Structure 1
Amino acid sequence: MAQEAETARRVPLNRERVLRAAVALADDSGIEALSMRRLAQELGVVPMALYKHVANKEQLLDGMVDAVVGGIDPPLDGPDWKSVVRHRILSARQVLRRHRWASRVIESRPGPTPAVLEYLDSMIGIFRAGGLSADLTHHVMHALGSRLLGFTQELFDAAPDAPGAPDDAAAAADPAAQEAALRAMAERYPHIAEMATAAAHVEGSGEGSAVSPGCDDQFEFEFALDLLLDGFERLHHQGWTSVGR
């Protein structure tokens, strides 16, 4: 292992290697752990050596976004624009799920990075090649929003500490207390309780929300994506235009 580390240190430093190491560090330790000093330690160089390849941390983050987005599958060939778009977006989702920090960094950028612009331009091209007007495509891009890149902000990303919500640790230790807390919550928030109880797809990503902790996040993403694509297709066939709306 020591010999491998020494060999890695002798590999010439370049921008690609810097970005690859930064992405790996964020994957392993979280984006909060990323700093120029920590990255330099990972690469076995002094921090000043990094500045030959990235001017500052903001440029480093831009480069990391481009490295991740560059891993999204290229568009498939085919006349069915819905299938092409769906495959591409789900590929983007797979990529971003491998890099959990990436969505937050993408949202933090003051503007789209070059790879993001290329991706968006390509997606617009798919809609236009499918026959959608420039007008409809404009609104399609707005409707999809961050979903184009495979992520979306749910109403509640994680269950908040709502009044009456059961404490996980206490509930796990005392099932009777959990049942009582859930009954109390159902009395106060009956519609949330009804919807959570009705959720049948409890197997999946394990990422729930305050509204329905058992929800399969991937299922919900694809469900909404398919609804949107079907709606776009219907509007396209109707010759929809925003003029005079």
Structure 2
Amino acid sequence: MGEAVDASPRTPLSRDRVLRAAVARADEAGIDALSMRKLAQELGVVPMALYKHVANKEELLDGMIDVVVAEIDPPAAGADWKTAIRERILHARKVLLRHPWASQVIESRVTPTPAVLRYMDSMIGAFRRGGLSLDLTHHAMHALGSRLWGFSQEVYNTPGAGPADPEVQAVMLGEMRARYPYVTELATAVSHDDASIVGGGCDDQFEFEFALDILLDGFDRLHQRT
């Protein structure tokens, strides 16, 4: 008797399937682990099959960003402009936290994709429908910068724990305090001051919302003045 043949239909390859598989791989292994060859292996096809759906790696990255942006909720209906923009930006932040590689890819793009342009257009529209002038909206978009997508650039990366030896730590701290007194003061206060309005240490979500609210309140004050 001959061997049984698996007659189950294979899921056809499509652009959407390729992009979603690429997003899943980047989520799991990081964007640096993504290559056309490895993606083809995961999909069970030869690498050339991918090029029928994405012309090259750059087009693949553009499409992946479109998949991520599509996960951001649409603007809230009936909300005032400040609430609508705040809620949508905070939802964008949740989406990007699910896809930690996405901020790096967004920053690397030279030409915005249609999905990115639609998102930006809707955010500008929220300002304009709220009555903000074109000039103020222009400045607001610049001020928000990457916060529009739910992430922000830090002044510097948070340092590691440092040496384990307390005596070595004390010497290093003393040298830092002598050379950079205000940096040291701020760094040690943030790390150890439980009376902080945030609590002990840095809370990334609080810091993000803190800056976002200052910006939105500032836009509102300028809008009321004009």
Secondary structure, counterpart of 1:154 in structure 2: coil
| Percent of residue pairs identical | 67
**Quick one: which of 202, 212, 217 aligns to 1:225?**
212
Structure 2 Cα separation of the partners of residues 193 and 220 of structure 1:
19
Question: Structure 1 unaligned runs (5+)?
Answer: 1-5, 160-165, 204-213, 240-245
Displacement of 1:202 in angstroms is: 5.7
Counterpart of 1:208 in structure 2 is: none
Counterpart of 1:17 in structure 2 is: 17
Structure 2 Cα separation of the partners of residues 89 and 202 of structure 1:
24
Structure 1 Cα separation of the partners of residues 225 and 137 of structure 2:
14
Structure 2 Cα separation of the partners of residues 52 and 44 of structure 1:
15
CA contact (8 A) 1:9 1:44 kept: no
Counterpart amino acid of 2:144?
Answer: L
Counterpart of 1:32 in structure 2 is: 32
Larger relative contact order (C-alpha < 8 A, sep ≥ 6)? 2
Secondary structure, counterpart of 1:100 in structure 2: coil
Counterpart of 1:46 in structure 2 is: 46
Structure 2 residue 153 is the aligned partner of structure 1 residue 181? no
Paired positions, count: 215
Structure 2 residue 190 is the aligned partner of structure 1 residue 196? no
Counterpart of 2:115 in structure 1 is: 115
Displacement of 1:79 in angstroms is: 3.8
Q: Once superposed, what is the RMSD of the aligned Cα atoms?
A: 2.0
Structure 2 Cα separation of the partners of residues 28 and 195 of structure 1:
35
Counterpart of 1:145 in structure 2 is: 145
Counterpart amino acid of 2:29?
Answer: S
Displacement of 1:117 in angstroms is: 0.4
Counterpart of 1:132 in structure 2 is: 132
Structure 1 Cα separation of the partners of residues 207 and 7 of structure 2:
46
Cα 1:156–1:182, aligned 2, differ >3 Å: closer, same or farther? same
More off after superposition, 229-238 vs 96-105: 96-105
Q: Deviations over 1:194-226 (max 9, x none)?
A: 1123323466xxxxxxxxxx3222111111100
Structure 1 Cα separation of the partners of residues 199 and 179 of structure 2:
23
Counterpart of 2:202 in structure 1 is: 215
TM-score (norm 2): 0.89
Structure 2 Cα separation of the partners of residues 49 and 58 of structure 1:
16
Counterpart amino acid of 1:234?
Answer: R
Structure 2 Cα separation of the partners of residues 25 and 8 of structure 1:
25
Q: Deviations over 1:134-183 (max 9, x none)?
A: 12111111111111011111111343xxxxxx972xx22x1222222222
Secondary structure, counterpart of 2:154 in structure 1: coil
Counterpart of 1:162 in structure 2 is: none
CA contact (8 A) 1:93 1:151 kept: yes
Structure 2 residue 92 is the aligned partner of structure 1 residue 92? yes
Secondary structure, counterpart of 1:10 in structure 2: coil
Displacement of 1:105 in angstroms is: 0.6
Structure 1 stretches of at least 4 aligned residues deviating more than 4 Å after TM superposition: 6-9
Q: Deviations over 1:12-66 (max 9, x none)?
A: 1111110111011111111111110010011111101111111111110000010
Output aligned runs, 1:44-83, within 5 Å.
Answer: 44-83=44-83
Question: Structure 2 unaligned runs (5+)?
Answer: 1-5, 191-195
